[in-house]
Amino acid sequence: MFEQYSYKQKCIALFGLFLMLSYTAYKRSFKNLIDVYKENKELTVHAKDIASKSKNLDILSMEIASYDKYLGNQNVARDVVQQEVIAFSTQHEGVSINDLQAIHSFEGESYSVYTNQLDVTGNINDLIKLAYDFETKFSFSRVVSTNYYTVKKNNTNEILHLRILFQNYDMKSKK
């Protein structure tokens, strides 16, 4: 049947058949394989990016926890903090509140800082214990400054005072 064709014609027909089969194999198998390989490469890069961001997220959450420990709990209402300062200081025997200043607030771009000032009187041991307890046990705000001073009234006796400054912060939500 193929004796009537020359070798040249047979080679051209065979080459044409080879091209058609190659094109069909490319369309049916190799194209899908190449697409899957490219998608796999993209997804691998994307997965590495997500993994690196999740590591950064873990680091950020640890940093936030350490800042909360250092600066006090965030997003606590400032009136609640002042009430907790009063309640905490009245739990200590031998200490009386002399003065409680109004809340001072500072607004930054992405945060707000609230400062409370408490002035208490008492003997040295009770005031030191109060300052230590505020530093270690009070979680609503952090002690920023303590100042011991005396006030002499009517040239008779000196009264020992302790002025404590507390600060806490609120993060503003981005809109």
pLDDT score of 72: 60
User: Lowest mean pLDDT: which of 12-26, 82-96, 101-115?
Assistant: 101-115
Residue 41 pLDDT > 50: yes
Residue 47 has pLDDT above 60, yes or no: yes
Does pLDDT of 175 surpass 50? no
Answer whether 163's CB lies under 8 Å from 119's CB.
Answer: yes
The rounded distance, in Å, linking the Cα atoms of 117 and 106 is: 14
Average pLDDT of the chain? 85
The pLDDT score that the predictor gives to residue 173 is 58
Strand partners, 170: 112
Q: What is the pLDDT of residues 121-174, one digit of tens each?
A: 999 999 999 999 998 888 888 888 999 999 887 777 888 999 999 888 777 655
Distance CA 174, CA 109 (A): 10
**What is the pLDDT, as a whole number, of residue 161?**
92
pLDDT at residue 21, rounded to an integer: 93
Is pLDDT at 43 greater than 80 in this prediction? yes
pLDDT at 126: 93
Count of CB atoms within 10 A of residue 89's CB? 20
pLDDT single digits (tens) 53-73: 777 777 887 887 776 666 666
Rg of the Cα atoms in the chain: 38
Residue 29 is predicted with a pLDDT of 84
Residue 98: Cβ-neighbour burial (10 angstroms; 0-12, 13-18, 19+): middle
37/140: higher pLDDT: 37
* Residues above pLDDT 70, as percent of the chain: 92
* 125: β partners: none
